[in-house]
Amino acid sequence: MVSIKNLYLVLYNVIQTIGWSIILFKLSIHLFETQSPVGVWEKVGALVSIFQYAAVLEIVHSVFGLVKTSAATTFIQVFSRVACVFLAQNVPTTQNHFFLSLMLMSWSITEVIRYSFYALSILKIDSYILGWLRYTTFIILYPTGVTGETGTIWTSLEFVKNTKFMTLTMPNSLNFAFDFHNILIFSLGFYVIGLPYLYTYMLGQRKKFIASHKKGSTTNIKKTN
């Protein structure tokens, strides 16, 4: 008997897998046909926005203990991505840039693997191939994803500065000022700190995954003898 919690989580992960698969498919065809990053956001922007904003639910899942991952870590990861989508939606200079295509391609490959792996894990279906992909593709896709994200932030800076987009100046009744341009520059520093940390963490997870499957295969051999 599948619990309501597991049913919901499987449904969530399956929907995300389908969503990101469509994005990956559309993105690949567009890039293959046009050989250019121009028009990428027009093609997949709406879908990316829907499925990336939906990932905010993952923070909720962590907070309410539906999944074991730390709420703080999930928040940082989801927030950085949502921020990049928000930039792509609102800053025209990012939309036709190579960095955006790199970011979206990295995300979509990662997410198709990740969400399908999670869905099968909840159903207790052990797919070694998906697991191996989950813990191996990041070696290339994390650096490309981060390059895409930081590049997208970088290409938005001039527009944000010139138009004072999302910038609040004093005096005001809240006695608060918010300089989005400076915040974006500041956020680039977090990527510099965050990537090595996340990368080494994932390498550790990969080691664990491979070790556990080696154990599994040896026990299987013992059983068959």
CB of residue 171 vs another protein: minimum separation in angstroms? Answer: 4
Query: DSSP per residue over 157-220, as a string?
Result: HHHHHHHTTT-B-SSSTT---B-HHHHHHHHHHHHHHHHHHHHHHHHHHHHHHHHHHHHHHHHH
Active site residue: 12, 111, 118, 149, which one?
Answer: 149
| Active-site annotation holds for 42 | no
- Cβ distance to another protein smaller for residue 139 or 168: 168
- Cβ distance to another protein smaller for residue 140 or 177: 177
Q: Residues with Cβ < 8 Å from 223, sequence gap 6 or more?
A: none
Q: Are 80 and 124 in contact (CB under 8 A)?
A: no
CB of residue 65 vs another protein: minimum separation in angstroms? Answer: 10
- Cβ distance to another protein smaller for residue 35 or 173: 173
- Residue 217's identity, in one-letter code, is S
CB of residue 68 vs another protein: minimum separation in angstroms? Answer: 9
Active site residue: 142, 158, 197, 199, which one?
Answer: 142
Give which of 66, 49, 65, 85 is closest to 13, Cα–Cα. 66
CB of residue 14 vs another protein: minimum separation in angstroms? Answer: 27
How many alpha carbons fall within 13 Å on the CB side of residue 6?
Answer: 8
- What does the block give as tokens for 184? 């974006």
- Cβ distance to another protein smaller for residue 172 or 225: 172
Catalog residues that contact another protein under the rule CB under 8 A: 170-177
Where in the sequence numbering do the catalytic residues fall? Answer: 142, 149
